[in-house]
């Protein structure tokens, strides 16, 4: 119930729509009760009596009678029925549209919240959760919640009010027969709860299998080039079919329980209907109950079981929605690992002096850095080299607070970065990664990721400094050219130069270059290196490079091995020392 209340809580801000829907639900319920009440009297007088006048009693509350000639009934009844059903249809439309729209607005809020929470979570969270799983939570799980919310809101108003109106009517007509009718309702609850528990469990497991399918789709579509290059299409097709078959197993079980629910309800309601016909028929024959009252009662009873069965059926839908809601709220309730301190400091543009002081860090049980100390003065270039897995990328990730140090501290201009607002810290650092991340947007907007409010002139200046302007102007629409998913229409060198233009536009005092030229050919590397030189000007720069030719002129080269700095100094100094750096250098340049 806590999860359900939380789901429905997203619709409470739209209480005006809910109130209008409630008015429509009252109209539907009143129409159903009116139809059931008058149908018995009309049928009895029209088909069993031939008096020139038909009398309707308005009951003890209103008092009096309404008399209509039997001849006019044939003319009035069709018109009255049409008018009543038009009124009922209008009320039903108002009720259903308003409540489902309120539910849709609530679901929009849920989807916004889960996406916003995802954006606020730390990098470690995304490393531990596959992209396909997170996509499934935002899309499939929320869609299942949406279906549940719509059904719950509609049934909560329309069917509950309709059932309440019809219950009042059958009690008014014959309270003894009403008890027989209602005695079967508690019997319906027991199988409904059992089936609902199974459906909730299967819904959660089924959503996990859908997440597996989402992961396969994300991996295969993003890696389609590799799949085709190795001729593994059939392997991936078989992999998808296997995952789809696992999902089908849970779907089959869910459908089995849902299909079982309705027949069980119908069997149980048959006892109530049989009891009413047996006892009610004997009462009519003995003269204790009027025939018109019994006809109205039977008609109302038949109409009553419909909303009751809907309300019980919606329990299964609610269980699916709650199962999906638990998975969604698991993400929404996830606490970000990296947050601002309560008394976080604001930080204006810094000079760019950086110090790593006795820094240690581990990924779970794997220690990556051990008491590492390193400093860079304003405008210096510090290169980080060493074997793969030595801790170089982790160092710069800690500087950007993608993770927090576990011991030691990182300082910028003498200020511990953990005491600074994250937003202000991010303004001080620009990143050019080995993985060129571009978006399915225009070239100009991709460059503007460095400064979202930049003018066209600023974008062009950044592109010229990155040696990207010439190839941009050769594109069909220049800076307004859409580059496709992940920049698929561009070469590796062109992608990298756009990323460099983005960093130039940001104009941050601290720059991180993580293997920025590792995947480029010689010609592209030379042009990108010229762009990087423009970018590095007057900035404190940390360069991670396996190509040692790109860092020969660095002010300081720090050589990492197994999470520690084993050597440091200039290029010539390290060659003279004859340690690991010289070994790496000779391996690359021995030819």
Instruction: Render 255-306 in DSSP notation, one character per residue.
Output: HHHHHHHHHHHHHHHHHHHHHHHHHHHHHHHTTSS-HHHHHHHHHHHHHHHH
Q: Which two tokens stand for residue 157?
A: 């108003």
DSSP state of 403: S
Report yes or no: 26 and 161 within 8 Å, Cβ to Cβ. Answer: yes
Full 3-state SS string of 477-515: CHHHCECCHHHCCCCHHHHHHHHHHHHHHHCCCEEEEEC
Q: How many angstroms separate the CA atoms of 378 and 367, rounded?
A: 30
**pTM for this prediction:** 0.68
Q: For position 286, what pLDDT does the model report?
A: 63
In terms of Cβ atoms closer than 10 Å to its own Cβ (0-12, 13-18, 19+), residue 363 is exposed
In DSSP terms, 544 is beta-bridged to 384, 514
Alpha helices in 121-184 (DSSP H): 123-128, 131-136, 142-154, 160-173, 175-182
Q: For position 145, what pLDDT does the model report?
A: 76
Q: How many angstroms separate the CA atoms of 537 and 227, rounded?
A: 41
Q: For position 71, what pLDDT does the model report?
A: 47
CB neighbour burial string for 473-497, b if at least 16 within 10 angstroms, e if fewer = eebeeebebbbeeebebbebbbbbb
Q: For position 525, what pLDDT does the model report?
A: 63
Transcribe 538-553 into DSSP letters: TSEEEEE-S-GGGSTT
Q: For position 548, what pLDDT does the model report?
A: 77
- SS3 of 367, please? strand
Per residue of the chain (591 residues), give pLDDT as tens.
Answer: 677 777 777 878 888 888 888 888 788 777 777 776 666 556 555 555 544 444 544 445 445 544 544 445 555 666 776 777 788 888 888 888 888 788 888 888 888 888 888 888 888 888 777 777 788 777 778 877 777 676 777 776 677 777 777 777 777 777 777 777 777 667 777 777 777 777 777 777 777 787 788 788 877 877 776 777 777 788 888 888 888 888 888 778 877 777 776 677 767 777 766 776 776 666 666 666 666 666 666 767 767 777 777 777 777 777 777 778 888 888 888 888 888 888 888 888 888 899 999 999 988 778 889 998 999 998 888 989 888 888 888 898 899 888 888 898 999 998 999 999 988 888 888 888 877 788 888 889 888 888 888 888 998 888 888 888 888 888 888 889 888 777 777 877 788 888 888 888 888 899 888 876 655 555 556 777 777 777 787 889 898 887 777 788 888 989 988 888 888 888 888 888 888 888 888 887 765
Q: For position 409, what pLDDT does the model report?
A: 92
Q: For position 52, what pLDDT does the model report?
A: 46
Task: Tell me the domains of the chain and their CATH numbers.
Answer: 2-332 (1.20.1560.10), 354-589 (3.40.50.300)
- SS3 of 428, please? coil
């Amino acid at each position: 119930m806590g999860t359900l209340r939380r789901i429905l809580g997203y619709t409470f801000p739209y209480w005006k729509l809910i109130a209008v829907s409630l008015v429509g639900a009252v109209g539907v319920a009143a129409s159903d009760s009116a139809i059931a009440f008058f149908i018995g009297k009309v049928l009895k007088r029209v088909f069993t009596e031939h008096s020139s006048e038909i009398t309707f009693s308005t009951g003890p509350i209103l008092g009096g009678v309404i008399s209509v000639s039997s001849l006019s009934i044939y003319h009035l009844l069709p018109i009255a029925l049409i008018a009543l059903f038009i009124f009922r249809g209008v009320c039903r439309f108002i009720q259903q549209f308003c409540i489902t729209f309120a539910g849709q607005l609530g679901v929009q809020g849920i989807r916004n919240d889960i996406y916003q929470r995802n954006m606020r979570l730390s990098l470690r969270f995304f490393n531990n959760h596959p992209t396909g799983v997170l996509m499934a939570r935002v899309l499939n799980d929320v869609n299942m919640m949406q279906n549940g919310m719509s059904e719950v809101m509609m049934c909560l108003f329309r069917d509950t009010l309709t059932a309440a109106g019809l219950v009042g009517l059958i009690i008014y007509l014959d309270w003894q027969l009403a008890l027989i009718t209602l005695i079967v309702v508690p019997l319906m609850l027991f199988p409904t709860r059992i089936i609902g528990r199974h459906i909730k469990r299967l819904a959660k497991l089924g959503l996990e299998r859908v997440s597996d399918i989402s992961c396969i789709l994300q991996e295969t579509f993003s890696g389609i080039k590799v799949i085709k290059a190795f001729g593994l299409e059939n392997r991936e097709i078989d992999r998808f079919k296997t995952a789809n078959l696992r999902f089908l197993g849970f779907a089959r079980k869910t459908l089995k329980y849902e299909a079982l629910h309705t027949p069980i309800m119908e069997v149980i309601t048959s006892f109530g209907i049989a009891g009413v016909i047996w006892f009610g028929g004997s009462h009519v024959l003995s003269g204790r109950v009027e025939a018109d009252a019994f006809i109205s009662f039977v008609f109302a009873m038949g109409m009553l079981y419909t909303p009751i069965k809907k309300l019980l059926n919606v329990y299964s839908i609610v269980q699916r929605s709650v199962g999906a809601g638990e998975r969604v709220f698991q993400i929404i309730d996830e606490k970000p690992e990296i947050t601002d301190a309560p008394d976080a400091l604001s930080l204006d543009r810094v000079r760019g002096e950086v110090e790593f002081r006795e820094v240690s860090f581990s990924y779970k049980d794997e220690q990556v850095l051990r008491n590492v100390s390193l400093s860079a003065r304003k405008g210096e270039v510090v290169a980080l080299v060493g074997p793969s897995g030595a801790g170089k990328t982790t160092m710069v990730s800690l500087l950007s607070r993608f993770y927090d140090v576990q011991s030691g501290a990182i300082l910028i201009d003498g200020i511990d970065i953990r005491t600074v607002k994250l937003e202000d810290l991010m303004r001080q650092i620009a990143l050019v990664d080995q993985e060129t991340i571009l978006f399915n947007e225009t070239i100009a907007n991709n460059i503007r990721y460095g400064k979202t409010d930049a003018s066209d002139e600023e974008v062009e200046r950044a592109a010229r400094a990155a040696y990207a302007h010439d190839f941009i102007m050769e594109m069909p629409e220049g800076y307004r050219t859409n580059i496709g998913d992940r920049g698929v229409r561009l070469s590796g060198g062109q992608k990298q130069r756009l990323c460099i233009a983005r960093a130039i536009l940001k104009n941050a005092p601290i720059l991180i270059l993580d293997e920025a030229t590792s995947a480029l050919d010689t010609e592209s590397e030379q042009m990108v290196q010229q762009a990087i030189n423009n970018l590095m000007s007057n900035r404190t720069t940390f360069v991670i490079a396996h190509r040692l030719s790109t860092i020969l002129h660095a002010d300081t080269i720090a050589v990492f091995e197994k999470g520690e700095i084993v050597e440091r100094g200039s290029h010539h100094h390290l060659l003279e020392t004859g340690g690991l750096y010289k070994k790496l250098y000779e391996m690359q340049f021995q030819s």
